[in-house]
Amino acid sequence: MTKRRVIAYVDGFNFYYRRLRNKPYRWLDLYTFFTQFFPNDQLVQVRYFTARVGGKFDASKPLRQQAYLRALQTLPQVDLIEGQFLTTEVKYRLAEPLFAADGTQRESAKVWKQDEKGSDVNLGSYLLNDAWEDRYDVAAVVTNDSDLAVPIQMAVKRGKTVLLLHPDGNPSRSLERSATGVLHIHDSHLKHAQFPDVIPLPNGKVVRKPVGF
């Protein structure tokens, strides 16, 4: 029996903040992780969509991310596609006015806004391009971003099986309706797909699991 070709697409920030952030399983080997869901198929590639974070509020944050990305780069089947991470100062109107000690009223405040740009567009583009070029039979998509509902629908109309792996237990209904089916991520899947604490690199150096990962 011919094995199905599988490509996995991971919305990195969505996966991290909805499932991994408060778990002890962030040192995740994505290739091993997905093989648990497709033991009888051929996992051709894992596409990981992310952006390099800034260190404005936590100088160690980009260092931890850099270590993880280096770990992923040791896996030949994993492809990193990067967007942009922006930190900007914006002015927002307050829901309720604030009053200063002198009695003056403030109706707005300046805040720092952090946004990751590009992952959803990049993921949708790769999902469709790979479908049109017939690179997969099955797409496994890790996200809960409803903006990806239309690209998923289009891939399904192309005759592809698109399986949604929602990061938490509250999947977007529009994504569920668009996908061929839904697979559930359990902590056991994460636990059994961890990198070793120390990973040797081709140049003789090593990458170490960050503290807290």
pLDDT at residue number 91: 56
The span from the CA of 99 to the CA of 54, in Å, is 33
Q: What is the pLDDT of residues 5-39, one digit of tens each?
A: 999 999 999 999 999 999 999 999 999 999 999 99
User: Global pTM?
Assistant: 0.84
> Which pLDDT belongs to residue 106?
67
Confidence tier at 112 by pLDDT (50, 70, 90): very low
Tell me what the mean pLDDT of segment 69-86 comes to. Answer: 87
Determine the pLDDT at residue 55.
47
Confidence band of 168 (pLDDT split at 50, 70, 90): confident
**According to the model, what pLDDT value does residue 213 have?**
83
Domains in the chain: ranges and CATH: 5-83+118-208 (3.40.50.1010), 87-116 (no CATH)
Q: What is the pLDDT of residue 113?
A: 42
Q: Give the model's pLDDT for residue 170.
A: 80
> Are residues 143 and 16 in contact, defined by beta-carbon separation less than 8 angstroms?
no
- Is it the case that residue 157 has pLDDT exceeding 60? yes
Give the model's pLDDT for residue 202: 87
Contact 182, 164 (CB under 8 A): yes
Pairing mode of beta strands 5-11, 138-142: parallel
Where is pLDDT greater, at 101 or 127?
127
Q: Residue 160: which pLDDT band, with cuts at 50, 70 and 90?
A: very high
Q: Check pLDDT > 60 for residue 171.
A: yes
Return the amino acid letter for 153: Q
Q: What is the predicted pLDDT for the residue at 97?
A: 66
- Residue 85 clears pLDDT 60, i.e. is over it: no
Q: Are 109 and 65 in contact (CB under 8 A)?
A: no
Mean pLDDT taken over the chain: 87
Q: How far apart (Å, rounded) are the C-alpha atoms in residues 85 and 114?
A: 7
Residue-wise pLDDT for 42-62, tens only, equals 999 999 999 977 645 556 678
